Amino acid sequence: MPLPIATRASRVARTLMAAAGAALLLSACGPADQAPTFTFTAIPDQDESQLEKRFGQVADYLEETLEVPVDYVPVKSYPAAVTAFRNDQVQMAWFGGLSGVQARRLVPGSRAIAQGEEDTAFKSYFIAHADTGLEPGDTLPDAFAEQPSFTFGSKGSTSGRLMPEYFFRERFGAAPQALIDKVGFSGDHNRTLALVQSGAYATGALNYKVWERALEDGKVDTDKVRVIWETPPYPDYHWTVRGDLDERFGEGFTERVTAALLAIDDPALLEAFPRQRFVPASNDDYQAIEDTAEAIGLLD
């Protein structure tokens, strides 16, 4: 069954106009003369409004820079992003470390091409509700594993599941499910923060960037929730493209896309991620993520 994918509301008008224009061109030129649309997606790691803002801006920038039609195709879950990439519904995706590894294993020849400067040394935060009495420290305290509940983010998240589980196992010698009565998956980092802040879960783990942005925006009540421990750094978010871009869009298109991403210098666009800039990436950068995922059974 084809994957159901929503269309950005803000691009409906342009899509209709493009369709009408294409119909006129078809009558005169035929299908071979139509310019192909370059499509991309992203893992839904935050609420939809944040994603629409971020990737709508990226689509507009790439369309102007690459001089081809570009569309951002939102999806509802991490697996849906990987599936869209595998099924060739999109040619590029903004993945986390784990989802990128999963996608490249399914689509031979695909390549990681760029990452945020911060993504070379990403971190997760372990957080706790104030009622737990847990205090910040240089490691997870013994009492962390004695709490009644803990929530990851998405099951496929690098910063909200893979690496937090890895470091939890390293610290306590077992998975959270073996030591904590209630272990959940919130679905995204914003939701993890909200669940722990409300007391619905005693503890959780999330992307440090989401925490810092929420703190900056006044959405964190530090009387109710606090960071207990931050993980060592690891590689995470990045752009991955399919290996057939040049064949479909013309010789050198992959390098043009890469150059366009690395050249982004609009402060508003970078702040939407938020990242200082984008830097080159390669598949080899994520070997440690692949090894970790295999070690704890998250890859087939």
Which pLDDT belongs to residue 270?
Answer: 93
Q: How far apart are the first and last CA of the chain?
A: 22
- Could you read off the pLDDT tens digit of each residue along the chain, which spans 300 residues? 333 334 434 443 443 333 343 333 333 333 445 679 999 999 998 778 788 888 999 999 999 999 999 999 999 999 999 999 999 999 999 999 999 999 999 999 999 999 999 999 999 999 999 999 999 999 999 999 999 999 999 998 999 999 999 999 999 999 999 999 999 999 999 999 999 999 999 999 999 999 999 999 999 999 999 999 999 999 999 999 999 999 999 999 999 999 999 999 999 999 888 899 999 999 999 999 999 999 888 886
- State the pTM of this model: 0.79
What DSSP element (H or E) covers 295?
helix 287-295
The tokens for 28 are 């005169």
Buried b (16+ CB within 10 A) or exposed e, 121-143: ebbbbbbbbeebebeeeeebbee
- Three-state DSSP class for 180? coil
Q: How far apart are CA 171 and CA 146, in angstroms?
A: 13
Peptide bond into 267 cis (omega under 30): no
- Compute how many other C-beta atoms are within 10 angstroms of the C-beta atom of residue 109: 9
Which pLDDT belongs to residue 49?
Answer: 78
Q: How far apart are CA 254 and CA 258, in angstroms?
A: 6
Q: How far apart are CA 59 and CA 53, in angstroms?
A: 10
Tokens 């737990």 correspond to 132
- Three-state DSSP class for 241? strand
Domains in the chain and their CATH numbers?
9-119+235-295 (3.40.190.10), 123-230 (3.40.190.10)
Which pLDDT belongs to residue 174?
Answer: 96
Strands (E), 214-256: 225-230, 238-241
